[in-house]
């Protein structure tokens, strides 16, 4: 799975489930939590999604606002485990 596919899967999940507006045009470098699009509870939901969808377990130390605020950050973190 390449970076682009992962990014699109996350984008679709976040706009559908967390922003609740599939029309929302979410940019790759947009602050999703700091921009008020989802709350920090949603980080845990993102963790579950990544486990179910990509079979990747993001450790708690990486599930933080600073490290998971944009699509770019999220996709890069998943790629890191898929590459191994």
Partner 1 sequence: MRKNITHYVSRITFPMLTPKTRPSFHTLLDAIALTGGDETAIVYLETERPSITITRQEFAERVHTYAAALQQLGIRPRDLVIITHTQNLESIYAFWGAMAAGAIPSMFPTLTEKLDPAIYMQNMAELVSFSNVKAILTTDDFAPQLAKQVTCPVIGNQLSVISNQPIHNSQFTIHNSQFDIAFLQHSSGTTGLQKGVALSHRAALNQIASYSEAIGLNEQDVIVSWLPLYHDMGLIAGFLLPLVQGVPLVLMSPFDWAKHPALLFRAIHEFKGTLCWLPNFAYNHCARRIRQRDAAQFSLKSMRLFINCSEPVRHDSHQLFLNRFAALGVTPEMLGVSYAMAENTFAVTQTPPGQPARLDVVDGAALTGQQIAKPSANGRPHAQALVSCGPPIADTAVRILNKAGDILPERHVGEIAIQSDYMLTEYYKRDDLRPFRDNWFLTGDRGYMADGEVYVIGRSKDLIINAGKNVYPQDIEAIVNTVPGVHAGRAVVFGVPDEREGTELIAVVAEVETDDPAQRKAINKAIRQAIVRQSTVSASYVTLVDARWLIKTSSGKIARAANREKWLAEKG
In the complex, least distance from residue 72 CB atom to partner 1, rounded to whole angstroms: 18
Residue 66 exposure: Cα atoms within 13 Å on the Cβ side = 3
Query: Would you say 2 or 61 has its CB closer to partner 1?
Result: 61
Burial of 21 (0-12, 13-18, 19+ CB in 10 A): exposed
3-state secondary structure at position 68: coil
Q: Which residues bind partner 1 (CB under 8 A)?
A: 20-21, 24-25, 33-41, 43-45, 47-48, 51, 57, 59-61, 63-65
In the complex, least distance from residue 73 CB atom to partner 1, rounded to whole angstroms: 15
In the complex, least distance from residue 1 CB atom to partner 1, rounded to whole angstroms: 20
> Residue 80: which of 27, 48, 67 has the closest Cα?
67
Query: Would you say 68 or 75 has its CB closer to partner 1?
Result: 68
């Amino acid at each position: 799975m390449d970076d682009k596919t992962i990014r699109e899967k996350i984008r679709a999940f976040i706009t559908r489930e967390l922003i609740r507006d599939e029309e929302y045009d979410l940019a790759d470098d947009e602050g999703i939590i700091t921009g008020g699009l989802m709350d920090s509870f949603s980080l845990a939901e993102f963790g579950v999604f990544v486990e179910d969808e990509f079979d990747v377990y993001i450790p708690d130390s990486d599930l933080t606002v600073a490290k998971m605020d944009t699509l770019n950050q999220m996709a890069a973190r998943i790629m890191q485990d898929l590459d191994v």
